[in-house]
Structure 1
Amino acid sequence: MSLLRTLQRQPRIISLFAYDLENCKPAGSIVQFLKSDTSNQFDLELCTRFPTLDQLLYMYKFKEPLSREILNNQIKNLNEILKLKSFDSIFGSTLEHCVKIGVWNPKHALWVDWEKAKLGSSVKSIKQSLNQ
């Protein structure tokens, strides 16, 4: 997929899961950094809904050493959530609802580079990822 995008000169997609862009400093910083990049290597997708089960399972399998730790810090009871059925109401619900029920950490954001199978929660981590 990466080669195909490169040949077509299409940017890859980076998703940013964030509850409140205005009050979450890490989310705002990530957006500012990504918008300031003029290389057109990627498109930013802002997500205000909880990931689907398929998305979570895919993220959980990332080989980066800190991926699971970052996911566990962002999503409380992650291991129990991964055992739920794909049609459970948590999947696809608003992050606002997830914050209210204590599943989503509102103090952080989660960026995901689906194509490179990387994720993080800070500007530093996304800078490192994009420079590799």
Structure 2
Amino acid sequence: MAVLRIVANLAGSDLQAARVFYEELLGLDVVMDHGWIVTLAAGATAENRPVQQLSLATEGGGGTDVPRLSIEVDNLDEVYHRAQAAGFEITYPLTEEPWGVQRFYVRDPLGYVINILSHQA
């Protein structure tokens, strides 16, 4: 299992103002906009995949609260089973979302809700 990326998620109500702030101040580019979540990025790997990313969101999708982090992995089933076996609190079950990801939320030992996800092929 490998972690493919980690994205910080900032919750707020005025995504347009926040988007302009990060675009104009830091030169970040919008790489995804679903209305309720906007992801901005800078830089890219050899695979042309953004390295530094930040998401601004009014909700976590599917009516959930905005998680603190989103962590993309290459083997979601393995991570889900490891979280269950370790007894970590799953706050949102393993779900295939209509926007092309499969994910679950887990609470870390510091109390933060973390979105663990994988893009569907």
TM-score (norm 1): 0.25
Bigger RCO of structures 1 and 2 (CA < 8 A, at least 6 apart): 1
TM-score by length of 2: 0.26
